[in-house]
Amino acid sequence: MSNFKVLEIKQNVFENNNRLADSLRKDLKKDKTFLLNLMSSPGSGKTTTLTKTINSLKDEMNIGVIEADIDSSVDANTIFQTGAKVIQLHTGGMCHLDAGMTKQGLIGLGTKEIDFAILENVGNLVCPAEFDTGASKNAMILSVPEGDDKPLKYPLMFSIVDVLLINKIDVIEHFDFDLEAVKERAMKLNPNIKIIPISARTGEGIDEWVDWIRTEVKKWNS
């Protein structure tokens, strides 16, 4: 025991990942690839929303998708049907994606030809919020059946995203879901958040969402 000594490390656990994420963002900017990190609980509609989004935008830009959700063999297939380039990441049961795994996915896609890349993150509202993936922008989906108290339970997620999509708005009348309360709770955590109610089923609100993407892709790639 006598040879043991105390060695100070004093390092933020997220520092390595943050550094890699920043360098990834720089590369994406150089390659003119806008990367969107899409997060949500399982089943809130990421894959369905992506399908609608790709169909609206595929004639204007080259789109690539990195699939990391648990059901992803099914999801990757669904996305493949749209004609977008899709790559499947094997996360080995990890609860989140970090910048290193995202980089692997981007290498697989080949960002040189992609204008708009989307990362379907692991379905979970906690861990993905802690890890910067290197994305240009972050979005989350909250679906009506999950309840209007989610911003209170997962404050970090709501405070780091640029856009909040409130999905399954077509079934709102069947749920005790207070849309205004959600907006207020989210704005309190994140005054700059953009909130768009959508239905990936009926297409309601998708135009506004797609417009937001168009503007951001143009800004990033100009």
Partner 1 sequence: MHELGVVIEVVKTVEKFAAANHLVKIDTLVLQIGELSSMIPRYIKECYPAAVDGTILQDTELKIEIIPGNAICKDCNKVFNIIKNNGKCPCCKSKNWDLLSGKEFFIKEIVAC
Ligand X SMILES: Nc1nc2c(ncn2[C@@H]2O[C@H](COP(=O)(O)OP(=O)(O)O)[C@@H](O)[C@H]2O)c(=O)[nH]1
CB of 44 closer than 8 Å to CB of 156: no
Q: Is 197 helix (H, G, I), strand (E, B) or coil?
A: strand
Minimum gap (Å) between residue 1 Cβ and partner 1: 8
Could you tell me if 157 and 41 are in contact, meaning their C-beta atoms sit under 8 angstroms apart?
A: no
> Which residue of 48, 53, 88, 124 would you call a contact of partner 1, by CB under 8 A?
124
Distance CA 173, CA 116 (A): 35
- When the beta carbons of 113 and 208 are compared against ligand X, the nearer one is 208
Which positions from 116 through 155 interact with Mg ion, judged by CB under 5 A?
Answer: none
Is the CB of 74 or the CB of 107 nearer to ligand X? 74
Task: Indicate which single residue of 67, 98, 132, 146 sits in contact with partner 1 (rule: CB under 8 A).
Answer: 98
DSSP state of 190: -
Based on the shown chain and the rule CB under 5 A, indicate whether residue 46 belongs to the binding site for Mg ion.
Answer: yes
* Contact map string, positions 16 to 35, toward partner 1, x by CB under 8 A: xx------------------
- Residue 6 near partner 1 by CB under 8 A: yes
Question: What's the gap between Cα 103 and its chain centre?
Answer: 15
Give the C-alpha separation, 136 to 110, whole Å: 17
Tokens of 197: 């109610």
Instruction: Name the segment binding Mg ion (CB under 5 A); options: 65-73, 95-103, 106-114, 198-206.
Output: 65-73
* Continuous segment of H or E residues that includes residue 85: strand 85-88
Query: Quick check: 42 binds ligand X (CB under 6 A)?
Result: yes
Does residue 43 belong to the site contacting ligand X (CB under 6 A)? yes
The least CB distance from residue 46 to ligand X, in Å, is 3
Exposed / middle / buried, residue 195 (Cβ in 10 Å: 0-12, 13-18, 19+): middle
Q: Does 167 bind ligand X (CB under 6 A)?
A: yes
Give the three-state DSSP class for 206: helix
- Tell which positions 106-135 bind ligand X, by CB under 6 A: 123
Bridge-partner residues for 85, per DSSP? 64
- Contact positions toward ligand X, by CB under 6 A? 40, 42-48, 69, 75, 123, 167-168, 170-171, 199-201
- Contact positions toward partner 1, by CB under 8 A? 1, 3-17, 94-96, 98, 124, 126-127, 129-131, 156
